[in-house]
Structure 1
Amino acid sequence: MTAAHCINEVDDYRVELGKHSLKATEEGSVACSAAKIITHEDYNILNDTALIKLSSPFALSDTITPACLPDRDVVLPHGTPCLVTGWGRLSTNGPAADILQQAFLPVVGHDVCSQPDWWNVLATEKMVCAGGDGITAGCNRDSGGLLNCPNPDGSWDVHGIVSFGSGEGCNVLQKPTVFTQVRLYV
């Protein structure tokens, strides 16, 4: 899955599995072409989600493992630590990462994220916010990346898809990274 705003009709898409470095050839990584891409029929700033069906099956390994989908009724409590990953910019107007970046961001509850001095009405019930401390956040080009949250049994659930961040730059205080809330689309 990815963000619908990352998809356009003219590109051929390839999904890299088990990839850590964008520049290096890595043993165990697998590239699959997209057989079909389905964007949400009502996509706009809301419903920013798309599914990519791979053209061929692949084997699980030490670097390719599944993540689970959350139950539809699971609402992440404020402060829950979840992991965002991506190859986006390393800082505002900075270079894009060559190595996969990852950071734990605390979930910001909707009642906080939708306050006027946070995201206000842009943070809807169909979104989940994480970060906002002014230090660590998703950045430009992280769009479509996932927000994974650990479970007590060691498994991970995909709770969000990076949708947007602040136009003021990366790591803006009280402007957490905003994710499409996956549980509502299961």
Structure 2
Amino acid sequence: TMKLVILALLVAGAYGCGLPTYPPTLTRVVGGEDVRENSWPWQVSLQYQSGSSFYHTCGGTLISNQWVLTAAHCISSSRTYRVYLGKHNLNYNEAGSRAISPSKIIIHENWDANRIRNDIALIKLSTPVTFTDTIMAACLPNAGDIEPHGTPCYVTGWGRLWTGGPLADALQQALLPVVGHSTCTRSDWWGSLVTSNMVCAGGDGQLASCNGDSGGPLNCQSYDGSWEVHGVVSFGSGMGCNYPKKPSVFTRVSAYISWINNVSGKASLRTNNKQKYHDEEVQMLKCPISTFSLVLSFR
């Protein structure tokens, strides 16, 4: 019996953060593509109630077993919400998915809807989730981390596939290279609307997140192979989804780590990563070409 208990504890602690059981298929498809099922298991669908049904309104990111990160502009005090986890296609009932109601929603106290500043919110789930192959948390970046210009990150969501188009049924991903702050704040780009608490990505006229992805993650791969949520989809150009010099703008998560920790009391899940991937780390020392550098080599 003791052996069984120990085994159960090991299994329960095996899920760290940002290391999906089914790694995403990373391609350079323009304009987005259906993801490999369950390859972004921290992606959630935030849904609001209308009548007896719920409807997708925004994305979000599971960052622990009880907290979801999303955008402040996604939240309306007059609406009833649920968080759907482990989803791939919004039209199907899928094994391994769960809908959970929030116990509370905390919008950043300095959220400014007029200037779109501090566009970040946290949702506490009424029931903690058990991590599985289809539901797990993304890692948070270190406080103050800035991704360099050109870093290949991926936006995910059930957003519109093209300007004015329908919402996607299956979860989408699109490669969005980071646009450095000095470029994004040029007068012919976003200018002073973009602050140092934001991060830009895409904007080459081909790749950008579309409206409907709001609140979802900008996923960037760390040196250790784990995925971090570096951005929360905040705003884009009203002129269209893929307008040149108007990249998608994200709330920069690394600017809000202390706020996230204060609100959620969140402990890092990376300690589990070290245990789970010890053997892989040993292998990486022998052959120090990580997944991340392989991705970079295709830039």
Task: Say whether the fold is shared (TM-score over 0.5).
Answer: yes
Q: Hey, what does 1:167 align to over in structure 2? A: 238
Helix, strand or coil for the counterpart of 1:154? coil
- 2:92 corresponds to 1:21: no
Alpha-carbon distance in 1 for matches of 2:167, 2:223: 33
Q: TM-score, normalised by structure 2?
A: 0.61
Q: Hey, what does 1:51 align to over in structure 2? A: 122
What amino acid is the match of 2:227? W
Superposition deviation, residue 154 in structure 1:
2.0
Q: How does 1:1-186 map to 2 (within 5 A)?
A: 1-44=69-112, 45-186=116-257
Superposition deviation, residue 59 in structure 1:
1.4
8 Å CA contact 1:12–1:34 kept in 2: the answer is: no
What amino acid is the match of 2:95? E
Give the gaps of 5 or more residues in structure 1. Answer: none
Helix, strand or coil for the counterpart of 1:84? strand
Figure out how many residues of one structure are paired with residues of the other and give that number. Answer: 186
Superposition deviation, residue 29 in structure 1:
0.8
What amino acid is the match of 2:242? N
The CA RMSD over aligned residues, in Å, is 0.8
**Structure showing the higher helix proportion among its residues:** 2
Larger radius of gyration: 2
8 Å CA contact 1:136–1:171 kept in 2: the answer is: yes
Moved over 2 A (4+): none
What amino acid is the match of 2:196? E
The CA deviation string for residues 98-122 of structure 1, in whole angstroms up to 9 with x for no partner, is 1111112100000000001111111
Helix, strand or coil for the counterpart of 2:78? coil
The CA deviation string for residues 137-167 of structure 1, in whole angstroms up to 9 with x for no partner, is 1111111111111113221111110000001
Alpha-carbon distance in 1 for matches of 2:230, 2:223: 15
Q: TM-score, normalised by structure 1?
A: 0.97
The CA deviation string for residues 45-98 of structure 1, in whole angstroms up to 9 with x for no partner, is 100000000000111111212111111121110011111111111111111111
